[in-house]
Structure 1
Amino acid sequence: MDSKSSPEWDPRSEAVLQDQIAAYDEMRRRCPVAHSDYLNWSLFRHDDVTRALHAPLTFSSAVSSHLAVPSGMDPPQHTEYRRIIEPYFSVERMQAFEPACRAIAIELMDSLPAAGVVEFMSAIAEDYALRVQSAFLGWPSELRDPLRRWTRKNHAATLARDRAAMEAVAFEFDGYIRELLAVRRSAGASAPADLTTSLLRERVGGRPLNEEEIISILRNWTVGELSTIAASVGIVAHYLAAWPALQQRLRENVTLVPAAVDEILRLHAPLISNRRVLTRPVEIGGQYLAAGERITLMWASANRDEAVFDEPDSFRLDRDPSKNLLYGAGIHVCPGAPLARLELRIIVEELLARVKKIAPAPDAAPVNAVYPASGFVELPLRIEAA
């Protein structure tokens, strides 16, 4: 089939934005490789997305004109930087960070009222993501509010594809990081023993990481962390509120929490998509695509593909975890997955331990987030403390 004859779709249409997940399901069944002006070529099927993930030299991650370490790199360059980054998410680091992470979760849970309706995104999800990320990187509490505002501006600029606004937002973030790095450099041996300081000592290709590389790494971690963790916390809380029997099951057996979280986030993806660019012509899903074509990998569809997940709308704990693309696959599988899983496990454990009932608010409906975000902008829930 000639790519010019491909059916078009509009990712920003009202019908799509009203229920993104349902719209992507429909596209997967009707037109699994589809073109739009906004997202270029979108891949909706699990097999097609997986094929792209395991062919990084054809489906290149070098999609941005800006430095993106290492997510926007291909081998062999990607391999060098990935070697530096992976140890920051080791088992030992996660074990060492767990007490601080749990303390933040407990403090937020203790701030909830004994009973009543709370707007869960602002009361818990967004603050949790901000506070945990700051603690993990060693950033001061004064940076939380600027980062919260920055995250919203970044989302708005990305949604609008406003390049000038995106440039301004990136410049603003870079300014925060440059200041943090300057403080650590001037402190010398007295600099805080945190992850941000550690990056100043890393080397690649026999030389120290330069400032632009460090900023890119920290931007990559922060952009992914703040929006995706907040979205994930909201999605899981919303699902638990709708299924009280699952709440009780997890309270009675907390060892099921990690698998339950992964399955809930398979059903409702916290991250909608990632981008790639073709380095050579390919045929995929009946479409012949030329080198240079831009590709969007639709995680939110691939993880609900009925060809891979039997009864994809059903919550099941017996699925093959290797098929779940929540954290990607291949060489670009999310290096921060251990941290994300730790954070989500802890917040769910503390929520279930300290709130005996979570239910939808009787007189207020959630407000869905829209692309490039997922989850909820507002999530009113009724709670009763344990």
Structure 2
Amino acid sequence: MNASNPDRDFDPDLPEDFDSAHRDYARLRAQCPVAHTDRLGGFWALTRYEDVAKAAADPRTFTTTVQNVIPKVAFTGRRPPLHLDPPEHTPYRRALNPLLSLEKSEALAPRTRELSRELLAPMVANGGGDICAEFSSYLPVHVFGEWMRVPADWLDTLHDAGRAFILAVHSTRPEAMKETSLALYDMARDLIARRKADPHDPAIDPTSALLAARVDGEPLDDEMIVGTVRQVLVVGMVAPMVMVGSICVHLSRDRDLQTRLREDPSLIPAAVEEFLRLYSPYRGFARTPTRDVEIGGRTICEGEAVAMLYASANRDEAVFPDGDRFVLDRPNIADHLAFGRGPHNCPGVHIARMELRVALEELLAATNGFEVSGPVMPTRWPEIGALSVPLAFT
């Protein structure tokens, strides 16, 4: 605890570099595993694996209905399923989960590979570039655009609107967050209107699946469907962009690993899993206790915001020995929390893994080597990792 300021065991507003947050979380795990800060609206942070996993799996005690990220950015309506707990969130997951199966996700791999090559080609011709701004900010938009079946002429607008929202969140500008979020809501309403006028097969179209869903014979609430489509439009854009940037920073530092993966692409799926543990792109989603709870000898009162720091839990040495080190084929890698735990575990796990695998395969295949060639811009809350990574292809 911070004796000079008992309301601030850590300061999430301090300037960060690519590694500094992980150093701070290691300190907190060792000295103050249940930490409090008065910054970003005031919240508690759970840093150890056991505490994070338990809270994520207990929606009765830790609800997502009040606040789901730090800082609080939901100014424009409810967005299922993330903003609801079971059983209210279940119909939305039930409608979307079949469209996110392993089989359907892998069916997108050929197009993902084609898009990766198209986006990398000008970077290769130029000898490098910003892998986030020029590659990984576009790839997930196009892949999710394919999955959502949005009109092709929407993709540039969706990219720009989504990136504007992300940058507004990172700069903690509430009015800009609201403005950019409303632009995404307009796109969601337009897509829903199109599907109502021209229904698609709900077995292959997410928006149509939501419109076709029934609970006790009744359709889902119109505004909740709008919120769900709005959530889906942007949720798959941020994490892959940040992850690709973080992976490139790591491989620039570890040229032996870069060479090994380039020479033996069969190792890439296992490497992606360890990268997900080591560089979980979200610091951790927020929850709100429905009653007073005691964790690690500290009392968190009902209604106080709690951040479950997945990024810290995934480096907890009690679960992952040498947690700050990349270990290929780590024996308990399946225990990592990069995709959450419990009823709000990420439904897009298969698309995410496919996208990262294909992106890394194509980046390594297109280059003989690469290294960071300029300042790396780190993310801010709620993400953690790299938002801008200039690379030189060697």
Normalised to the residue count of structure 2, the TM-score between the two structures is: 0.88
| Structure 1 residues 210-241: Cα deviation after superposition (integer angstroms, max 9, x where no partner) | 33222222222233211111111111122222
Out of 336, 340, 350, which is 2:352 matched to? Answer: 340
Contact 1:137 1:196 in 2 (8 A): yes
The answer on 1:130 being equivalent to 2:130 is: no
- Specify every segment of 5 or more residues in structure 2 that has no aligned partner in the other structure, as ranges: 68-73
- Cα distance in 2 between the residues matched to 1:53 and 1:190: 34
Out of 301, 309, 317, which is 1:306 matched to? Answer: 317
Contact 1:277 1:292 in 2 (8 A): yes
2:116: which partner in 1?
Answer: 105
| Structure 1 residues 11-42: Cα deviation after superposition (integer angstroms, max 9, x where no partner) | 10236888222222222222111111225111
Contact 2:184 2:230 in 1 (8 A): yes
CA gap of 1:181–1:314, structure 2 versus 1, over 3 A, is same
Out of 363, 382, 385, which is 1:375 matched to? Answer: 385
2:35: which partner in 1?
Answer: 34
- Specify every segment of 5 or more residues in structure 1 that has no aligned partner in the other structure, as ranges: none
2:335: which partner in 1?
Answer: 323
Contact 1:17 1:371 in 2 (8 A): no
1:331, CA displacement in angstroms? 1.7
Contact 2:268 2:357 in 1 (8 A): yes
The answer on 1:356 being equivalent to 2:358 is: no
CA gap of 1:190–1:231, structure 2 versus 1, over 3 A, is closer
Question: What pairs with 1:68-79 in structure 2 (closer than 5 Å)?
Answer: 68-79=79-90
2:64: which partner in 1?
Answer: 61
CA gap of 1:15–1:170, structure 2 versus 1, over 3 A, is closer
1:191, CA displacement in angstroms? 11
- Cα distance in 2 between the residues matched to 1:16 and 1:25: 15
Letter in 2 for 1:280: R
CA gap of 1:106–1:117, structure 2 versus 1, over 3 A, is closer
Letter in 1 for 2:58: A
The answer on 1:8 being equivalent to 2:13 is: no
Letter in 1 for 2:164: K
2:228: which partner in 1?
Answer: 217
- Cα distance in 2 between the residues matched to 1:211 and 1:228: 28
1:46, CA displacement in angstroms? 0.9
SS in 2 for 1:77: coil
Contact 2:65 2:83 in 1 (8 A): yes
| Structure 1 residues 121-153: Cα deviation after superposition (integer angstroms, max 9, x where no partner) | 112111112211212211123323332332343
SS in 2 for 1:143: helix
- Cα distance in 2 between the residues matched to 1:189 and 1:56: 34
SS in 1 for 2:123: coil
Question: What pairs with 1:237-256 in structure 2 (closer than 5 Å)?
Answer: 237-256=248-267
Normalised to the residue count of structure 1, the TM-score between the two structures is: 0.90
The answer on 1:88 being equivalent to 2:99 is: yes
Which deviates more, 272-281 or 310-319? 310-319
Which deviates more, 301-310 or 17-26? 17-26
- Cα distance in 1 between the residues matched to 2:58 and 2:261: 38
SS in 2 for 1:280: coil
How many residues matched? 380
Contact 1:366 1:376 in 2 (8 A): yes
CA gap of 1:17–1:110, structure 2 versus 1, over 3 A, is closer
| Structure 1 residues 46-77: Cα deviation after superposition (integer angstroms, max 9, x where no partner) | 11101101211101111247322112222222
Contact 1:21 1:268 in 2 (8 A): no
Question: What pairs with 1:267-306 in structure 2 (closer than 5 Å)?
Answer: 267-306=278-317
1:169: which partner in 2?
Answer: 180
2:157: which partner in 1?
Answer: 146
- Cα distance in 2 between the residues matched to 1:193 and 1:62: 29
SS in 2 for 1:111: helix
- Cα distance in 1 between the residues matched to 2:195 and 2:276: 37
Contact 2:18 2:377 in 1 (8 A): no
Which deviates more, 20-29 or 326-335? 20-29
| Structure 1 residues 97-120: Cα deviation after superposition (integer angstroms, max 9, x where no partner) | 222222211222233334623121
SS in 2 for 1:104: helix
- Cα distance in 1 between the residues matched to 2:319 and 2:7: 25
- Cα distance in 2 between the residues matched to 1:16 and 1:128: 25
CA gap of 1:221–1:82, structure 2 versus 1, over 3 A, is same
- Cα distance in 2 between the residues matched to 1:323 and 1:240: 23
The answer on 1:48 being equivalent to 2:88 is: no
Contact 1:81 1:204 in 2 (8 A): no
Out of 207, 214, 218, which is 1:207 matched to? Answer: 218
- Cα distance in 1 between the residues matched to 2:368 and 2:17: 35
1:339, CA displacement in angstroms? 0.7
1:369, CA displacement in angstroms? 2.0
Contact 2:9 2:32 in 1 (8 A): no
SS in 1 for 2:52: helix
Give the % identical residues.
34
1:195: which partner in 2?
Answer: 206
Contact 1:265 1:326 in 2 (8 A): yes
1:274, CA displacement in angstroms? 0.4
- Cα distance in 1 between the residues matched to 2:16 and 2:196: 51
Letter in 2 for 1:51: K
Which deviates more, 336-345 or 284-293? 284-293
- Cα distance in 2 between the residues matched to 1:341 and 1:296: 25
